[in-house]
Structure formats: C-alpha cells, structure tokens
Amino acid sequence: MYRIGFFVCPGHDALDLAGPLSAFNQVTTAVGYQPYELRVVSRSGGLVVGNSGLPIETAPVGQHTFDTVIFVGGEVEPMLVAENLAAARQLVVNASRVASVCTGAFLLAEIGLLNDRRATTHWKYTASLQSRFPRIKVAGDNIFIEDGHIWTSAGIASGIDLALALIEKDMGVKIARDVSRLLVVPYRRPGGQSQFSAMSQMEPESDRIRIALKFAREHLAEELPIERLADAARLSLRQFGRAFRRETGETPARAVERLRVETACLRLQEGSEPIEQIAQAVGFINPERMRRAFVRLHGYSPQYVRRENRLSGECLVASKDT
C-alpha cells in the first residue's frame, strides 16, 4: 500500500487539497481495492481552518511516515513560520517522493529541496518564487514539473493533473485514465502545457501594443518582422521595441513565436490536420522549426500533443461506451 500524506497549514486552499485527494481516493473505485492510505497532517494536528473558512481534521506530524508527501498551497507568509518549516523537514526525511500544489512550492524552497531544480507554482507567484530563491529554475509556464523525486504543480486544478501523473507512475496508464474518467477531467494535460494563453500572459497596457498583437495573431501565416508590427502599431521601430518589451516582458519575435505555438497547439488538439500543414498555417517555415519552438517553450513536441490528445479521445469514447 502506498502511504500519502497531505500537509496543510492554516489558510490552506481547500481546492489545492480536495483535487489531488479526490484523485487518489478514486483509485479505489477504479481498481476495486484500496492501494493508497491517505492522511491529512499538520504541524500539531487537530482542526485546521483553510482560506475558505472550512476546517479539516488533521493528524500531527510525527504520528505517521509516508512514501509520498504533498504540500498543499495557501497563504504564503503564514505558511513559512518556523514551526511549519520544522514539520516539513521532518516529513520529507523518509519520503521517497515529495510534491507541492500551488504555493506549497514555497515550503519546499524554504527547506532547500528545490535548489538547482526545475519547479513551478501558480503563475501569480512565479516571479516571487524566483526572486526569493534564485537557485531554483522556475518554469512558470508549466502545469507541473517532475525533477527527480520532487514534483511541483501550478494552482488548484493542476493538482489533479499532478495526482494523475503520480497515479500513472504507481498504477499504470490504464488506471490513471480510469480515474480521469471518474473525475470527468481530461487524461491528462501534459506537464509542460501553458498555464494560460500567450495573449493573456502578455497583457499590454497600451492600445498600440494590443493592436500589434492582434495584427500578429490575424497574420500568423505571414512573415512578421518587427518592422511590420511597429507599422501596425503606428510607432517608430525604436519606440515600438522599447514599449513592447516594457509592456509584455517579451521581445516581439518571442511573442510571435508564443502565439504561433499556442495556435498550433489548439489545431493539434482539435483535429487530425497534418503537422506539416499546421506548421505552414501558423507561420513556421517547416515542421522542424515548429518542433524546436514547442520544445523550447514547453518541453514537449507537437507529436506529443497529438498523441496525448488521441489518448484522451480514446478515453472519452470508452467512457461513453461504459
């Protein structure tokens, strides 16, 4: 039996706990026996109130040991008090696998588990995580990341994606798919999938930069040098380059690449259009250029997206037949 402990602090997010906890609990329904022993723990046990006001009963740290410990996110500063850090260190000593949901990554970072590793958290907190812990390689675009025995995930719903990935490691692909059907969620979003769209990520302040981005999206199949975007924004080349970087945090070339990858990803998920045709339609010179852009931005290839989408489709068809 796999023993999994969920560590919560006062102010924890109820969904950061409930999502992955429910996923592991549904494995029993999927397989007909109980492969997981699940416990919620806190530094001293008893009732712990989350940020929704809902109290949950917990066991004290030290009463049990776990194969996997999952640190549940919540309010960051109250989470990082000395007592919680001591409890976290005690929990991970005997664990073969450690994970976090959302801001739970800050606890892992504070006790040194994320040093020199890739990690993620909710997009709202990635900049803070990186600045406070410069040794971490924060990949804020990812839904979840596995680096050795350490797993981190983004906010709320991504905790379910993380749990399904862990279930797949423990129980195999078929069981993980069955659990996703029981939860009525896709099986499963790739860990490198973006937390949000490229357009919403950039969020420029001025109308002119928004116009340039809208123009880029509407003309992705065409060449989009910076001169053309600056002309669409009715700014000089120098003014446009400075304003674009200031308002989006990206160079125009990287922003266009993100838009192309995002559009290609949607087309890969929505149909059976050949990859070569998609690459041309979104403005990549050839499929290899598109593949390199996918790997650079998300860590996986277009072929991986297509394959995962087919598996999800098979899962949904199977669920209709049962």
> With contact defined as beta carbons under 8 Å apart, do 179 and 167 qualify?
yes
Q: Considering all CA atoms of the chain, what is the largest pairwise distance in Å, rounded to the nearest integer? A: 67
Separation between Cα atoms, residue 216 and residue 221, nearest integer Å = 9
Separation between Cα atoms, residue 140 and residue 301, nearest integer Å = 18
Separation between Cα atoms, residue 201 and residue 83, nearest integer Å = 36
Q: What is the DSSP letter of 148?
A: T
Q: Is 315 a catalytic residue?
A: no
**Single-letter amino acid code for the residue at 18:** A
Token duo for residue 129: 């995580």
Token duo for residue 143: 């839904």
Which of the residues 9, 102, 265, 315 is marked catalytic? 102
Separation between Cα atoms, residue 223 and residue 270, nearest integer Å = 25
Positions marked active-site: 102
